Amino acid sequence: MHVIFLGPPGAGKGTQAKILAKKLNIPHLSTGEILRIMSSKNNYIGKSLKDIIKKGLLVSDELITTVVRERILLEDCQHGFILDGFPRTLIQAKNLEDILKKQNIKINTVIKIDVNENILIQRISGRQVCKKCNKIYNKYFNPFPKNGCIDCGEKNIIIRSDDNENAFKKVRLKKYNEETKPLVEYYDKKNNLVRFDGSGSATEIAEKIIKTIKSI
């Protein structure tokens, strides 16, 4: 199974992609997570990535396409993968198509999560990420437990450098609307886009997504 998650920052793509990946036993490929690991290196590339991510800008299509191409060729992606955060531009979508064509792979479905802007701001400004397993919590409605992450027991969280209202409204949401939103129409025309209302609880949304995936 090959799945793409689409939606604005804070829509819950990461949370849902993780749940689905576990259910289908295939890897969850979050380009944001991969880039955050690359940006933690104390070298030129690491520092440039850190700066781009903090400002909410996008890294170049060329760099991210190379990263994804190398990642999906690894052994663990043989039976499928879930892409979260890629593609984010039309160029990336076309690059992905070229890569997949060479591997004889077809995307089974593109899951689009819809959430209104007020909820997005609350999710972004309250987001807490488990330092070890990247499970997502929220200080307003699902705070990180005092005795540690419910999945891995880790006691520490990370607050993402780009999770502030200013960067979100001024840059990330704008980038999403300008660069990523056109992909909704692009995949809709290919007839493999399914929309989900992402405003409910993570469990409720996951159940709906899994039901749809089972029917494909």
Residues 96-115 as x/- pattern, contact with ligand AMP by CB under 6 A: --------------------
Contact assessment for residue 24 and residue 1, using Cβ atoms and an 8 Å cutoff: yes
- One-letter amino acid identity for 195? R
Give all strands of the β-sheet with 127-130 in edge-to-edge order: 136-138, 127-130, 157-158
Stretch that binds ligand AMP, among 57-65, 125-133, 135-143, 147-155 (CB under 6 A): 57-65
CA-CA-CA-CA torsion sign (147, 150, 154, 155)? negative
Q: Under rule CB under 6 A, which residues in 114-173 are in contact with ligand AMP? A: 162, 172
Binding test (CB under 6 A) with ligand AMP, winner from 5, 86, 137, 168? 86
The H or E element spanning position 196 is strand 193-197
Closest residue to ligand AMP, based on beta-carbon distance: 32
**Nearest CB to ligand AMP, comparing residues 126 and 215:** 126
Q: What does DSSP say about strands 127-130 and 81-84: parallel, antiparallel, or unpaired?
A: unpaired
Q: Cβ neighbours of residue 140 under 8 Å, at least 6 residues apart?
A: 122, 126
**Nearest CB to ligand AMP, comparing residues 39 and 104:** 39
CB 32 to ligand AMP: min, Å: 2
Q: How many residues bind ligand AMP (CB under 6 A)?
A: 17
- Helix (H/G/I), strand (E/B), else coil: 197: strand
User: Annotated catalytic sites, by residue?
Assistant: 13, 88, 127, 160, 172
Residues at the interface with ligand AMP (CB under 6 A): 9, 31-32, 35, 52-53, 56-59, 64, 85-86, 88, 92, 162, 172
